[in-house]
Amino acid sequence: MNTDLFLRAGADRRLAAGHLWVFSNEVDVQRSPLQSFAAGDLVQVRRANGALLGSAYMEPQSLICARLYAHGREQALSSQWLSALVARALASREALLPGQCYRLIYGDSDGIPGLVVDRFGDYLVMQFHNAGIEQHEAAVIEALARVLQPAGILLRADSRSRREQGLADRVEVVFGEVPEVLPLQENGVAFAAPVLQGQKTGWFYDHRMARARLRDYAPGQRVLDVYSYIGGWGIQAAACGASAVLCVDSSAAALAGVEANARLNGLESRVAVRQGQAADVLQALRDEGRQFDLVIVDPPAFIQRRRDIKKGIKAYQRINELGLGLLSPGGVLVSASCSMHLSRADLLLAIQGAARRSECDVRVLEQGGQGPDHPVHPLIPETEYLKSVFCRRLSPAAI
Tell me the DSSP string of 45-89. EE-TT--EEEEEEE-TTSSEEEEEEEETS-----HHHHHHHHHHH
Q: Is the pLDDT of residue 102 over 80?
A: yes
CB 335 within 8 Å of CB 388: yes
Mean pLDDT in residue range 208-217: 98
Gap between the Cα atoms of 230 and 220, Å rounded: 22
Which pLDDT value is given to residue 2?
54
Which pLDDT value is given to residue 287?
97
Mean pLDDT in residue range 72-86: 97
What is the share, in percent, of the chain residues with pLDDT greater than 90?
Answer: 93
Mean pLDDT in residue range 129-153: 97
Which pLDDT value is given to residue 159?
79
Mean pLDDT in residue range 362-381: 97
CB 240 within 8 Å of CB 214: yes
Q: Is the pLDDT of residue 187 over 70?
A: yes
DSSP 16-32: HTT--EEEGGGB-TTTS
Mean pLDDT in residue range 313-325: 97
How many other CB atoms sit within 10 Å of the CB of residue 27?
22
101 an active-site residue?
no
Residue 397: band (very low, low, confident or very high) from pLDDT cuts 50, 70, 90 = confident
Which pLDDT value is given to residue 306?
86
Which pLDDT value is given to residue 282?
98
In the chain, at which residue ranges do the beta strands (DSSP E only) sit?
A: 3-6, 21-23, 42-46, 52-58, 64-71, 101-106, 115-120, 123-128, 152-157, 170-176, 182-186, 189-193, 222-226, 244-249, 271-275, 292-297, 327-337, 362-368, 387-393
Q: Is the pLDDT of residue 35 over 60?
A: yes
Gap between the Cα atoms of 269 and 42, Å rounded: 56
Which pLDDT value is given to residue 304?
86
Q: Is the pLDDT of residue 387 over 80?
A: yes
Q: Is the pLDDT of residue 363 over 90?
A: yes
Which pLDDT value is given to residue 349?
96
Residue 389: band (very low, low, confident or very high) from pLDDT cuts 50, 70, 90 = very high
Crossing angle of helices 309-324 and 278-287, in 10° steps, is 30
Provide the mean pLDDT of the chain. Answer: 96
Tell me which of 240, 338, 360, 391 is the catalytic residue. Answer: 338
- Give just the sign of the alpha carbon dihedral 50, 56, 57, 60: negative
Mean pLDDT in residue range 270-293: 98
Q: Mind spelling out the 3-state secondary structure of 252-301?
A: HHHHHHHHHHHHHCCCHHHEEEEECCHHHHHHHHHHCCCCEEEEEECCCC
What does the angle CA 239 – CA 240 – CA 244 come to, to the nearest 5 degrees? 75
Residues 244-258: tens digit of each pLDDT:
999 999 999 999 999
Gap between the Cα atoms of 230 and 216, Å rounded: 22
Which pLDDT value is given to residue 11?
96
* Confidence (pTM): 0.95
